[in-house]
Structure 1
């Protein structure tokens, strides 16, 4: 179980109410809550978890990159950031990035806040914006598909290539305070879009605005 309130407290002195959610197996959380002095050691541990079959050379070469990524994510105000890696029967890997942030939305009623968010997002013709009724309360989802052009420098064919990416973003107004949480998942593995949508739905079912408790042991 991830305690969002505890993570937010590391970069935001405001009194954000408790919020928690449960992440499934396959996600590797960046240590965005680590202090600047702790970041190097925390990132080294993250890299060993991300590449458990690697060796010292791989871990040492990868750690500086992920340390910079972690610093950028923390500076951007993310409360939680993780990479999801999921093995495929074909031997490949489906991947995604997942993040959570919170912003002050100055609302007294989460239902009114969600209606306002929906109106703003639905005004963009490129957004597939929809109302959600979650166990924790009202929310708004937004789905955007983008096609980007890759430079020949990063493609296997040494030619420009098109890459389709998808983003799911869910805005969840706090019922316990004037804040809104934003869950974002990005992936270029759009062949597995349905699976990522199902996984995101499962995470949202666990969102709670009560103080987090330690997860029970799996049977």
Structure 2
């Protein structure tokens, strides 16, 4: 077997409540999955088909580590989300079997260079630099699926203790099962994939020095400081 010509990249991992770590293969995100957030972003929330974008696996920030403020933006915004950790792969997964493919759930923050995203939308360009930049996906500890009800739970996000976002998993336009099934139509899911499932309304700007804390009832929490 030939040797690598450069050092092989380290596999990003996320802590779990079991004590082991979950290796991250890919990171998918679904957009506008809460009606109120769709409205605040200027869109019709009437159950439009879900759409997906991606972040690189090494965009995850874990274990409460600080998150560096990204370059080339003056409008960094927060979006707190339920994160689904895929434990069993598959394609064209039926909705009624989708949750069987989930290893666990966590709380995550989809950080967005909103000014770059707005410009990309205006020009009809991809969102990659607005969504998929370094350290754009802080994630908390993953709780095994058997211990979580992904259909309900209070979602809350705070900056320096001030509540910015509130909602409930029951408010999702597309359920976790439906979202996993729909994504599996476009790509073959594999163990190690993460899926951010959308955010409630109340997204807003964060800056250097801000303490970000997100919680979802029955799931867990995520915490990071922008530096």
**TM-score, length-scaled by structure 2:** 0.25
Asked which structure has the greater RCO (Cα within 8 Å, sep 6+), the reply is 2
Structure with the higher helix share, 1 or 2: 1
**TM-score, length-scaled by structure 1:** 0.25
